[in-house]
């Protein structure tokens, strides 16, 4: 049985990070201070803490400066809004990333709304969502941006192809659908979700199938058109007594079965995840360059 080409997200992310590093070096060689990223982490969610460490490590390797502000989960929403105000006003801070999820008593939406859209390197502020929807320059959320970069760097074209995105979140599904339908990408896009009828049938029409649902193994081999490109955004913990930590990471796609049908497929881990981090670095450099140019309020 033939097997799909595996898209090596780690290798592609490494290439992106090396390019960002070169651009940062050229930037600082011109006498500018390095881009500066502040990450805000509230509470003691171990997964969040680990993601933040990974982001800061990758930033440092790319020559991006920064710090992590850590707060107890008891932090009030008002206090966090005050932290955001202070970072917005701090001219030495180019990018602000609020690690999600926030504790339940804090309204994510109010916090994101308080960010300066021009420091919003995660691209979650409604101004950036609006810019993306309107085809204007702005910050694009890191995971969808990373998926587009994975496709481009794998030589996979999207023009005229049928793309099916399963998942409609503001973080991944919606912005990715926007990117795929943009002029230049030119895919024909369908967005599916938990209420979609005949999900299998719709998925099977996809030349490019993106799974961003958050349920391990939801996408089975029978839902994939032979030869299709399968992009797995899911990062799910699945119990695995054979592992020291008691679980393993699994995507939304049944990888072992899917790779016998698909033409291209991303693994989990080592697929989309590393690209999310690489695009954060790219967005942070972009933020620094925009700030230096002084066009904070223009696209
Ligand atoms: C990999 C995230 C759900 C909820 C909040 C590399 C990451 C993940 C996987 C990573 C994620 C997921 C991040 C791999 C950041 C992606 O090798 O496969 C990197 O660090 N991510 C996050 O910050 O918050 C999340 C997923």
pLDDT, one tens digit per residue, over 109-143 is 999 999 999 999 999 999 999 999 999 999 999 99
Q: What is the residue with the minimal CA distance to atom 12 of ligand 1?
A: 273
Which of these, 280, 290, 272, 232, lies nearest to 17 by C-alpha position?
280
Is the CB–ligand 1 distance for residue 269 below 6 Å?
yes
Is the CB–ligand 1 distance for residue 276 below 6 Å?
yes
**Among this protein's residues, is 183 annotated catalytic?**
no
Supply the DSSP symbol for 219.
B
Taking 50 as the pLDDT cut, the residues of the chain under it are 296-299
Is the CB–ligand 1 distance for residue 214 below 6 Å?
no
Of 23, 55, 119, 225, which residue is the catalytic one? 55
Is the CB–ligand 1 distance for residue 54 below 6 Å?
yes
Is the CB–ligand 1 distance for residue 97 below 6 Å?
no
Contact 30, 60 (CB under 8 A): no
**Among this protein's residues, is 232 annotated catalytic?**
no
Pairing of strands 236-239, 247-250: antiparallel
pLDDT value of position 2 = 77
Q: Which ligand 1 atom lies nearest to the CA of residue 249?
A: 18
The CA–CA distances, whole Å, from 10 to 118, 124, 209 equal 28, 24, 20
| CA of residue 248 to ligand 1 center, whole Å | 14
**Among this protein's residues, is 161 annotated catalytic?**
no
Please tell me whether the overall predicted TM-score, pTM, comes out greater than 0.85 for this model: yes
For residue 202, the SS3 value is: helix
pLDDT value of position 296 = 46
Q: What is the residue with the minimal CA distance to atom 22 of ligand 1?
A: 51
The gap from C-alpha 10 to its chain's centroid, in whole angstroms, comes to 14
Is the CB–ligand 1 distance for residue 7 below 6 Å?
no
């Amino acid at each position: 049985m033939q097997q799909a080409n595996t898209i090596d997200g780690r290798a592609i992310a490494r290439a992106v990070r090396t390019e960002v590093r070169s651009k940062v070096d050229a930037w600082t060689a011109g006498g500018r201070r390095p881009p500066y990223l502040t990450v805000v982490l509230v509470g003691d969610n171990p997964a969040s803490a680990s993601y933040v460490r990974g982001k800061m490590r990758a930033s440092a390797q790319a020559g991006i400066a920064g710090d992590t502000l850590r707060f107890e989960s008891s932090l009030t929403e008002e206090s966090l809004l005050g932290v955001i105000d202070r970072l917005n006003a701090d001219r030495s801070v180019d990018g602000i990333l609020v690690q999600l999820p926030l504790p339940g008593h804090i309204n994510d939406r109010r916090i994101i709304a308080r960010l300066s859209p021009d420091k919003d390197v995660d691209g979650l502020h409604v101004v950036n969502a609006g810019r993306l929807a309107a085809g204007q320059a702005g910050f694009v959320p890191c995971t969808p941006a990373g998926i587009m970069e994975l496709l481009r760097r794998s030589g996979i074209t999207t023009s005229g192809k049928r793309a099916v995105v399963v998942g409609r979140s503001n973080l991944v599904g919606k912005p990715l659908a926007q990117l795929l339908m943009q002029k230049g990408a030119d895919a024909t896009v369908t967005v599916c979700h938990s209420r979609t009828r005949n999900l299998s049938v719709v998925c099977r029409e996809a030349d490019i199938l993106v799974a961003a649902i958050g349920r391990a193994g939801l996408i089975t081999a029978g839902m994939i058109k032979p030869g299709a490109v399968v992009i797995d955004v899911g990062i799910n913990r699945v119990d695995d007594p054979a592992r020291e930590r008691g679980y393993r990471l699994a995507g939304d796609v049944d990888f072992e079965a899917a790779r016998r049908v698909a033409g291209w497929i991303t693994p989990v881990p080592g697929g989309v995840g590393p690209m999310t981090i690489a695009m954060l670095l790219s967005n942070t450099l972009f933020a620094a360059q925009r700030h230096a140019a002084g066009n904070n309020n223009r696209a």
